[in-house]
Amino acid sequence: MNLESTHTDRIPFGDPEVIFDGFSKEDIINLAYCAGDFMLAIDEAGVIRDIAVNVRDHGFANMWIGQRWSDTVTVESQMKIAQLLGSGPASGAVWRQVNHMHDGDDVPINYKVITPVSGGWKVAIGRDLRSVSILQQRLLKTQQSMERDYLHLRQTETRYRLLFDNISYPVLIADAEGLDIQQANRACHALVNAAPGSLEGKNLLGLVHPDYRDDIIAYIGAVTVNSQTVPANVRLLGRAGSVKIAASAFRQSGKQFWLINIDDGLHEVPGKQSDRYVLDVVEKMPDAFVLTDEKQAIIVANRAFAELVQAGSVEQLLGVSLSRFVGRPDVDVGLLKKQLKDHQNVRNFSSIINDLNGGEEPVEISAIMIDHEQPLFGYSVRGIGRRERDLPQSRNEFPRSVEQLTELVGRKTLKEIVRESTDLIERMCIEAALVHTADNRASAAEILGLSRQSLYSKLHRHGLGNLIGKDD
């Protein structure tokens, strides 16, 4: 980050002599305070002789008094200091960002130097850019995370398209409203002697012999009511024999579609959605997936779920209760099961996964209940730990809000939640006492009824030990 700007686009007062005629030196100093967070008085040798700050946590700048200005900044910023202190016509007309060194970190500050007409000491006015730098870092991390997620999405889409296009039997996807074909694989194009890609956008009924179009419409209506409807026998245009058409519904982006398998008698066509192709997709998908019975015992799990819970193999998980891994035992899974029985699906349920080695991983769970001979529950589990680690933590993130604390119900014990609540109240009271006493720690300890040693211990525990304060 390198911020530089000149005053070439500024519009001055029309009559500054009249406007500033009544201003005292104190008024001029107040104006300077409004212009920046730091004000450095610098002599002819480039040595900082005095400092004024307008925010309490900028007190570390007092350590610069008596040092050469160029010695307080990083090596790459020293040339900018020389330019700011130069005698050229553009030296004082430019804001330049320099990085000061403090506690092993760089403190970015944007400076402009004011040189009096009569000579003498110069005044450097600085604006703290740390908040801007933090926002830029958060933006960069978020952008990188989004780019990784986008790449992951593109890779998943590519795998899906390859799988769909290389299925040996004819299959197509049509929307439920008008039966317009959205996608068709190569086997489907070959079946009706169509050029690759030419079926997309055409109507499904246009592929069927006119005598059988009513049969297709009746079959679709029957499948809408009962998914176990026997496949329909129809004739396609340009083909002598009949084919069997089996349809199954799915929803995407709020719209309903039909996945239609066409059995021409030449290929092995699965009769159910849980065929080996779908199972292969589930097995290789990057998100964890698990299928349970009504008692939440695991029936099917993919390799991603086995890796998530640190299991040696998928077979090791079969028959184990999902409550062993999700949230607190019998709490999160119980809530999910109740929601599924009421609404049949759940989206983005926040929880944690407890692995076999005692570790925890924050996750989002989407689930669905399927009612066959007995209810089956399918859970898609996505880890969000990387997303949370990618985003830099805010310095003041520790004081959680009441809403954040209540979100811990079901994930932590009441004792742990009460302890976090106590820490939150304790920190807020200490911060309020420091503000009330203008950061005088001796006075803050007195009004809190603590010894200085006890206050210092609590400041360190709550991450407030670096605050610049006064002991008397």
Q: Give the model confidence (pLDDT) of 62-112 as tens digits.
A: 888 899 998 888 888 888 888 888 865 555 567 888 988 877 778 888 898
Q: What pLDDT is attached to residue 180?
A: 92
- Maximum separation of any 2 CA atoms in the chain, in Å: 104
| 134 against 2, higher pLDDT | 134
Does 273 score more than 50 pLDDT?
A: no
Residues 6+ apart with CB under 8 A from 365: 326, 336, 346, 348, 349, 350, 351, 379, 380, 381, 382
Type of residue found at 177 = E
Q: Residue 275 and residue 207: Cα distance in Å, rounded?
A: 26
Cβ atoms of residues 283 and 264 within 8 Å: no
For the ranges 14-18, 132-136, 217-221, 431-435, the one whose mean pLDDT is highest = 217-221
Token duo for residue 90: 């553009």
Q: Which two tokens stand for residue 471?
A: 């002991």
Instruction: List Cβ neighbours of 448 (8 Å cut-off, separation of 6 or more).
Output: 429, 430, 433, 455
SS (H, E, C) 171-217: EEEEECCCCEEEEECHHHHHHCCCCCCCCCCCEHHHHECHHHHHHHH
What number of H helices and E strands is found in the chain?
14, 16
d(CA 315, CA 334): 24
Query: Dihedral of CA 81/82/86/88: which sign?
Result: negative
Report the percent of the chain where pLDDT is more than 90: 1
CA separation for the pair 380, 286 (Å, rounded): 10
More confident residue, 341 or 77: 77
Write out pLDDT tens, residues 183-237. 888 888 888 888 888 888 899 898 888 888 888 889 888 888 876 677 888 888 8
More confident residue, 10 or 90: 10
10 pLDDT more than 80? no
Q: Best-predicted range by mean pLDDT among 77-81, 164-168, 280-284?
A: 77-81
Assess whether pLDDT exceeds 50 at residue 126.
yes
- Percent of the chain scored above 70 by pLDDT? 83
Do residues 136 and 3 touch, judged by C-beta distance below 8 A? no
**Which residue bears the tokens 């008024």?**
27
- Cα separation, 33 vs 295, in Å, equals 68
Range from 1-10, 90-99, 274-283, 361-370 that averages highest in pLDDT: 361-370
pLDDT at 151 over 60: yes
Q: Quick: pLDDT tens for 312-335.
A: 878 888 888 888 888 776 677 888
Q: Whole-structure pTM over 0.95, yes or no?
A: no
d(C-alpha 210, C-alpha 234), whole Å? 10
Q: What pLDDT score was predicted for residue 47?
A: 92
First to last CA, the chain: 39
pLDDT of residue 274: 45
Please count the other Cβ atoms lying within 10 Å of the Cβ belonging to residue 24.
Answer: 8
More confident residue, 265 or 87: 265
- Whole-number pLDDT of residue 398: 44
- 306 backbone dihedrals φ, ψ, rounded to 5°: -60, -40
Q: How far apart are CA 413 and CA 420, in angstroms?
A: 11
DSSP structural state of residue 77: G
Question: Can you tell me whether residue 458 is helix, strand or coil?
Answer: helix
The pLDDT value recorded for residue 395 is 44
What pLDDT score was predicted for residue 152? 83
In angstroms, what CA-CA distances link 106 with 97, 129, 133, 390?
12, 11, 11, 21
Instruction: Write the pLDDT tens digit of every residue in 229-260.
Output: 778 888 888 777 888 888 888 887 778 888 88
Tell which residue, 430, 432, 438, 444, has the closest CA to residue 59.
Answer: 438
Q: What is the average pLDDT score of the chain?
A: 79
Q: At what angle do helices 441-448 and 414-436 cross, to 10 degrees?
A: 130
Residue 466: pLDDT over 70: no
Taking 60 as the threshold, does the pLDDT of residue 48 lie above it? yes
pLDDT tens sequence across 384-402? 766 555 554 544 444 445 6
Distance between CA atoms of residues 412 and 414, nearest Å: 7
How far apart CA 96 and CA 112 sit, in angstroms, is 7
Model pLDDT, residue 91: 57
* pLDDT score at 394: 45
CA distance 44 to 72: 17
Burial class (CB in 10 A: 0-12, 13-18, 19+), 153: exposed
Report the pLDDT averaged over residues 337-348: 80
